[in-house]
Amino acid sequence: MECRGYELRCKEIINMTDGSRVGYVGDVVVDLEEGKVTALVVPGRLRLFGLLGREPDVIFPWSAVRRFGADTILVEGAQVRQRDRRERT
């Protein structure tokens, strides 16, 4: 199966550890020097319809990705970390 970068946004991430649906891919982190994808980012959920901002983003390192499907990406949740939107540079 072939997949382009923009098609990742249509895929839902599912945690294999507990079967939870994390959300849809919002961004991809790429190391430009080596030309490799290093992480998938799921935007944090809105709090009170966005009036109170968002929860922190959930970042899955590429090493946590286990399988790609037609509509889903399976990840192993033990390697998940979160990032606040204010940390972006």
The answer to whether domain 5-87 has CATH 2.30.30.240 is yes
Report the alpha-carbon distance of residue 39 to residue 51 in Å, rounded.
Answer: 28
Q: What is the DSSP string of 29-41?
A: EEETTTTEEEEEE
Tell me the pLDDT tens digit for each residue of 13-26. 999 988 889 899 98
Report the alpha-carbon distance of residue 45 to residue 54 in Å, rounded.
Answer: 6
Q: Which residues of the chain have pLDDT under 50?
A: 89
Whether residue 66 contacts residue 57, with contact meaning beta carbons closer than 8 Å, is answered with no
pLDDT at residue 13 in the model: 93
Report the alpha-carbon distance of residue 7 to residue 21 in Å, rounded.
Answer: 18
Report the alpha-carbon distance of residue 69 to residue 88 in Å, rounded.
Answer: 29
